[in-house]
Structures are given as C-alpha cells and as structure tokens.
A and B are shown apart, each in its own frame.
Chain A
Amino acid sequence: MMILLFFVLSVICVGSVLGMIISKNQAYSALFLVLAFSCLGGLFGMLGAPFMAVVQIIIYAGAIMVLFIFVIMMINLRKGISPERKKWTLAVSAVISVVLLAELVFAVLGTPPMPYTAAFSSGTSPTDIGRLLFTKYLYPFEITSVLIIAALVGAIVLVKKREKE
C-alpha cells in the first residue's frame, strides 16, 4: 500500500515539475508548482515527518505560491519569453545535464543503503521540533531573525523612492 502511494505521489510530483518547466503560461507553471509541493508534502508525511509535511503544504503550497500567483497576475505577462536559443547552448546544456545525471546516479549507487528510519529516529512531532529549536538550535534560530531583518531592510532600500526626487 505504502509503496503504491509512494509511486503515485512521486510520479505526480515529477510530472508536475516537468509541466511547470514546459508550460508557456506562467500562471500554469505556478499551479503546477503547487501540485508538486503538495505531493512532496505527502512524501514527507510517508517518511514519518508530519511537521515537514504540514509546513510544506501550508508555507510553500499555500503562502509562497499565492504570493507568486499575485505577482504573476500583477505583472500580467501574457506570453512567455519566446525560446530563441542558440543550438550550441542547447547542446552544451544537454551534455552538462547528462553528466550531472550520471554523477548523481554514481553517487547514489556508491552509497550503502541507509537504515530507512535513521534520519527521523528521534521524535518528529511539532512539540519535539519546537523544543529542539529553542534548546539545541537556539543560536541558528536567532540568527534567522537577523537574516530576516537584513532581507527586510534590503528589500525596502532597493524599492523605496528617494525623498529628494
């Protein structure tokens, strides 16, 4: 049953990512991405990481993608940029992607199989994660707030209008 679910979810996930890349309309791309994120959320849930699953759907598929779609609607690009590529760049990128795929396959083959639950051996409920965030990972957690301030200030600086003009 789990195996079946896994394959269904992965096929939909990979398919929707492909659809995202191929489709010419940005709004469709964004919706495909939502589908991909939802499937990823399902996969995380199957791995026994309920928190990741929920976050994947609430934050990524929900908040961030809604923002994306807003932006796409506001900018209102009807046509995608016409694919006017040179032949040789296409060939080069094809070769590079094949090499990367081969590298990845070798890396996976060269790795001994890991115990299935090793990564999630300890508790993965939101309570456990919250406790970890405020004890063991307090320092990185606080740095994240500095990061967000920097991003906020940076974004405001870049888009605000100058007073004197």
Chain B
Amino acid sequence: MQPFISISGPAAPLMAANVDTDVIIRIERLSDFGRDQLAPYAFEAWRFRPDGAEQPDFVLNQDAFRSAPILLAGRNFGCGSSREGAVWALNCIGVRAVIAPSFGGIFRNNCYQNGTLPVVLPEEVIDGFAAIARTQPEAPFTVDLDRQVVVPPNGKPVPFEIDALRRRGLMAGQDDLGLTAQYAEQISDFQKRDQVDRPWVWIDEGLQKN
C-alpha cells in the first residue's frame, strides 16, 4: 500500500451530510471492474445525468476539482455499506485525503488499509475551508500527516488528531496484516486456551453439526 506522508492540491467541497458508500460506488461496479478501474464510476449517480451526460453542477465536474487529491465533506462521510470499493473508487479519481466532521466507522478503517487519510475536524473549520475552496478553487491545501496539520491556502496550519497506530501504519504504508505479523504466537495461545474454556465455539474441531 502507498504510504501517506503529506499531500498538496485543490480541496473539493462535497458538503452534504451522510454521503454513503453506495453513492460513492455502485455495488455491481465492484464485481464488474478491478479496484484500479473505478474512476469512471465514482459518484456516478451525481456525476452523470441519466442520459450519460455530465452533471455540470456537481463539484467533481468542475475543472479545478476534477483531480483534487482532497475532499471536504459533511458529517458521517462514508456511512453505510462496508464495501472497501468506496475507498478504491476515491483513490481511482485521485482522492488521498478526506476531511470531515465524522466518518462511517467501517469506511474509516478501510481508508487505513489503502493509504487514504480520513481527517476529522470540527464542522465550522471545514465550512471555512469549503468557503476558501469555492472562492479560490485552484489554491492548494496541504494535508500533512507527519506534522498532523491541514494547511489551507495562505492560512495557519490547523492541527488534527489521529490514533498513533493508524498514523504509523499510514506513514509506513502498512495495512492491518502488516501491523499484526508479530502476534502469531499469542493467537495460538489464545486458541488453545479457548478450546478448553469455550468448547461450544469449537465443537468437534469446528462447526460440525452434532
């Protein structure tokens, strides 16, 4: 997975609350296409009209934001379905960081597995960023994970919180499998003990009907 240290570029304001993963990527696109082929389908219900033409009002269809690496979003971004394809679709259109007041919990974990940074900041701060992005669409924001700050164009750095373990994983380019390779022995010990303590979990070496 691609490490995340710091990125700079335009920040696209997509400010509605509760943007769900179904609308980020339709489920059937994930079985029809590989994880790096999703760019044409990200947000398709909003990017395109039923006749296939571009919806000119949609923020990601505005020239400055077409390949914006940063998304400014409303609360509970990425709620709903567990599909990791939502993060892959964002990556396909070049989004590497999403700044929102809160995120869907599964989506947030999926970000950490793909080198994508979910940044939590207060709604007022993001509203302020969105106002800047609307008036100066090309002006670059910087999201710096090393320093844990977002720097708006010509503005003061705004610090954000992130769990140390997640920061480490993102900066090293390691997903969860990378983080837990060292625990094999503890897992064996747990399972051995558990087969004695909770045999109903392990009936007949597993789920044999009895």
Are A and B a genuine interacting pair, yes or no?
Answer: no
